[in-house]
């Protein structure tokens, strides 16, 4: 019996969702260009001019229930499309059953589609876009699942800000928070 059937839901094709979130970087002296008190950073935070943020971006791949499958952390100066291709390229065939990918509007464009085609040939990409007529906050189909996962993960204090200098350490804490979340879901007695 699958997890979806246990929850009383209809079985569906295995779709996965890809989304990016950014981590605000706390102001600290050791990231100054001259080196500051602690020397140069191993993985310095980038600056995203579009969103006017300094920090790191987290790309996560979740299943349709919101459970983390894969994550990647990199400087905010990299574009979302590039990070999305990196996420899919680093899977190394771990999930050969992936048939459909729902992605945010930041992943649209020919560069992302070409990079995705190079990495995962059989994957069907669906971009979840916000309607032009919508005003204010609108819940987008499939995207709310990823936003809920980020909300679950951000309940861990360590993930609220970018306290980790190396990106691999930030990814490790992201995976640990996900393990904690999955363990709690497994131990839950009521559905």
CATH of the domain at 127: 3.30.420.10
Q: Is residue 154 part of a domain?
A: yes
The pLDDT value given to residue 34: 44
Q: Is residue 6 part of a domain?
A: no
Q: What is the 3-state secondary structure (H, E, C) of 116-170?
A: HHHHCCCCEEEECCCCCCCCCCCCCCCHHHHHHHHHHHHCCHHHHCCCCCCHHHH
The pLDDT value given to residue 15: 65
Per-position pLDDT tens, the chain of length 191: 456 566 666 666 556 666 666 555 544 433 444 445 555 566 777 777 777 778 888 888 888 888 888 888 888 888 888 888 888 888 767 887 888 888 888 888 888 888 888 888 888 888 888 777 777 777 788 888 888 888 888 888 888 777 777 888 888 888 999 999 889 888 886 65
What range does the domain containing 70 cover? Answer: 12-187
Q: Is residue 3 part of a domain?
A: no
Q: Is residue 1 part of a domain?
A: no
The pLDDT value given to residue 16: 67
* Interatomic CA distance for residues 171 and 58, integer angstroms: 8
* Interatomic CA distance for residues 82 and 175, integer angstroms: 21
pTM, two decimals, is 0.73
Q: Is residue 5 part of a domain?
A: no
Number of domain units in the chain: 1
The pLDDT value given to residue 27: 44
The pLDDT value given to residue 7: 64
Contact 108, 22 (CB under 8 A): no
The pLDDT value given to residue 115: 84
Contact 128, 101 (CB under 8 A): no
The pLDDT value given to residue 130: 76
Contact 187, 173 (CB under 8 A): no
Contact 144, 135 (CB under 8 A): no
The pLDDT value given to residue 38: 53
The pLDDT value given to residue 176: 92
Q: Is residue 4 part of a domain?
A: no
* Interatomic CA distance for residues 48 and 45, integer angstroms: 10
Burial class of 60 by CB neighbour count within 10 A (0 to 12, 13 to 18, 19+)? buried
Contact 18, 59 (CB under 8 A): yes
Burial class of 122 by CB neighbour count within 10 A (0 to 12, 13 to 18, 19+)? exposed
The pLDDT value given to residue 13: 54
């Amino acid at each position: 019996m699958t997890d979806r059937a246990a929850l009383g839901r209809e079985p569906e094709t295995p779709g996965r969702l890809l989304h990016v979130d950014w981590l605000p970087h706390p102001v600290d002296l050791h990231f100054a260009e001259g080196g500051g008190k602690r020397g140069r950073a191993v993985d310095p935070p980038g600056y995203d001019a579009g969103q006017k943020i300094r920090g790191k971006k987290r790309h996560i791949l979740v299943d349709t229930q919101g459970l983390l499958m894969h994550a990647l952390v990199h400087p905010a100066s990299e574009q979302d499309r590039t990070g999305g291709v990196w996420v899919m390229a680093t899977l190394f065939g771990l999930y050969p059953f992936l048939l459909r990918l729902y992605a945010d509007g930041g992943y649209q464009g020919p560069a992302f589609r070409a990079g995705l085609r190079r990495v995962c040939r059989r994957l069907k990409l669906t971009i979840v876009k916000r309607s032009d007529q919508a005003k204010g906050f609108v819940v987008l189909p499939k995207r709310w699942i990823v936003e809920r996962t980020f909300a679950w993960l951000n309940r861990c204090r360590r993930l609220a800000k970018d306290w980790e200098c190396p990106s691999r350490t930030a990814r490790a804490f992201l995976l640990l928070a996900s393990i904690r979340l999955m363990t709690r879901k497994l131990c839950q007695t009521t559905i």
